[in-house]
Structure 1
Amino acid sequence: MRQSDPRPIDPAVKPARGLLHKQTSFEHFELTRFEPSDDLADWVEHHWMILYDLGDRPPYTQRNLSHPNQHLVIDSRGETGIFGAATGVFETTLTGSGRVFATKFWPGAFRPFFGRAVSALSDTWLPVETVFSRTSAAMQEEFTGLNDPVAMAERMEELIQAQLPEPDEKVGLARRIVTFAEANLELVSAGELAEAFGLGLRALQRLFDEYVGVSPKWVIDRYRMLEAVEALNAGGAEPLTELAHRLGYFDQAAFNHAFEKLTGAAPGVFRARVD
């Protein structure tokens, strides 16, 4: 018996993070997110849906910074499957009208479903039937007939519940370490992260390869970049030098180089586009 139903997330309380040029993004699509039912709260971070109708407007390419998670995605464009983290910038082009519905697993939580190192999913995707009892084609056809996002979330949860794996203590450890990295943006090295949890560097790297799908250093750097994007998206008067130091960079030049290498634009240029 379900202990609760999926419920909407208030974006004012828990804003979406990682959308490059967020204001422009929301001029092209609507994003709705849902907390999972209590039954799956240890496995699923949230469900999300993008709904778009561009009418006669030209195609729109959305660019995101991925988090260290895996997603089960039902896409009306036919790109339905299991997606790993994109180590660079993830891009997708929207045309006409459509929707994407997805379930985002907690960092570390997809490994027991997948049965092997989730690093095999990074920068790629696989059909739904690689892991679950339904095919991508069947899931896409079924979701075409659903118009209620809560019903979509419930259907996703039924699919996951049917193949719920045995508890795995390493899932919780991986999630705790990733959460720590997200909360401590002054971290700059994987060695610091390993030391914080009493692990050797190689042990931490093996854990992340198996359960997170990306390296500890990638996670550290990605959360710093996610915070940078959010700060720049918000505008504001925080000097770039102060932002760089807050994120653990030695100086603004190092921050500028890292940001431009990832996003293709220097922080000052990015902020100017927002303003």
Structure 2
Amino acid sequence: MRQRPRGDSRGILDPGRLLREVRFRRHLPAESLRPWVEHYWLIDWELSAPFEQRVVPHPAVNVVFRRDDDGPESGEVAGVGRDLFRITLNGTGRVSGVQFRPGGFHPFWRRAVSELTGRSVPLPAGRLTQPDVPVGAGTFPGAPTSAAGDDERCLALDALLTAWQPEPDPMAEEAVRLAEAIRTDRTVLRVDDFAARHDVAVRRLQRLFLEYVGVGPKWVIRRYRLQEAVEQAAGGPLSWADLAADLGYSDQAHLVRDFTAVAGVSPAAYARSVS
């Protein structure tokens, strides 16, 4: 099991500017939560001018707590986002977020995660669940953005998620394992090939991902490969035709269309903007 949070910036557009404008860091959750939770992400800011951050979302659910200036804390469950995520930060504030592993939110939600895809659900103060989840399963002892330091904020998130009483689920474990295989193996380009490699029927794989991840396996494959394209575009000159072939595209034009649709700008324009 991972001993430190991932250090890549995959999915973050112009990560250099993000790190210049705000304090961004990741921490691992308590060990008992790591089978389901990728990491905690904390952001603090004190800005003299508005700052917009754009993110190509991972195929993952996030639970997010935010406090602006001295206002009240708000919380939400954010399902898998299909479109480019944009947020504008002003003044001072802080966020304490939980990024679940793809497939890892189901033991907490206990329903089809596809219900959340493309939308967010507000969290009423003091409750972290929907009405049909057992009473008391979602109460949390403290506001995660109010704690003084990173350790205290992470402990508040640990307590919050533990109070949700996640239930062991072999199907969730399988979904997490398969989604991780797609993320880490860039040779995964087609659903049928991937299903055969892991000895699972295509139809079962599709049902598993919709129930536990929130989107189908084809979407997950394409999203991870596009995130690789975004990451490489920021790294310097490259051959778009070669990259298209590496990522399983039939031609360069197809990659450019998908890249532009998900990132909001063409590959060439994005590369120029971060160079």
| Aligned partner of residue 102 in structure 1, secondary structure | strand
Asked if 2 retains the 8 angstrom alpha-carbon contact of 1:8 and 1:33, the reply is no
| Aligned partner of residue 222 in structure 1, secondary structure | helix
Gaps in structure 2 of 5+ consecutive residues? 130-136
Counterpart of 1:117?
112
Counterpart of 2:133?
none
What is the rounded CA distance, in whole Å, between the counterparts of 1:270 and 1:209 in structure 2? 31
Counterpart of 2:272?
272
What is the rounded CA distance, in whole Å, between the counterparts of 2:166 and 2:145 in structure 1? 28
Counterpart of 1:21?
14
> Which deviations, in whole Å up to 9, do the C-alpha atoms of 1:112-158 show, x marking residues without a partner?
211100111111121333525237xx85xx34531211111111111
Q: 1:71 aligns with which of 46, 49, 62?
A: 62
Compared CA separation, residues 79 and 247, structure 1 to 2 (3 A):
farther
Number of residue pairs aligned between Structure 1 and Structure 2? 259
| Aligned partner of residue 76 in structure 1, secondary structure | strand
What is the rounded CA distance, in whole Å, between the counterparts of 2:31 and 2:128 in structure 1? 26
Compared CA separation, residues 76 and 225, structure 1 to 2 (3 A):
same
Cα RMSD of the aligned pairs, angstroms, is: 2.0
What is the rounded CA distance, in whole Å, between the counterparts of 1:130 and 1:35 in structure 2? 21
1:56-135 equivalences in 2 (<5 Å)? 57=49, 59-77=50-68, 79-128=74-123, 129-131=127-129, 132-134=137-139
What is the rounded CA distance, in whole Å, between the counterparts of 1:249 and 1:143 in structure 2? 42
Post-superposition, which runs of at least 4 consecutive aligned residues in structure 1 deviate over 6 A?
A: none
Asked if 1 retains the 8 angstrom alpha-carbon contact of 2:128 and 2:164, the reply is no
What is the rounded CA distance, in whole Å, between the counterparts of 1:19 and 1:79 in structure 2? 23
Counterpart of 1:253?
253
TM-score where L is the length of structure 1: 0.87
Q: 1:48 aligns with which of 33, 37, 41?
A: 41
1:83-232 equivalences in 2 (<5 Å)? 83-128=78-123, 129-131=127-129, 132-134=137-139, 142-232=143-233
Counterpart of 1:4?
none
What is the rounded CA distance, in whole Å, between the counterparts of 1:254 and 1:133 in structure 2? 44
| Aligned partner of residue 253 in structure 2, secondary structure | helix
Residue 274 of structure 1, CA deviation? 1.3
Residue 92 of structure 1, CA deviation? 1.1
Counterpart of 2:132?
none
Compared CA separation, residues 198 and 29, structure 1 to 2 (3 A):
same
What is the rounded CA distance, in whole Å, between the counterparts of 1:160 and 1:203 in structure 2? 29
Compared CA separation, residues 114 and 242, structure 1 to 2 (3 A):
same
Percent identity, please: 33
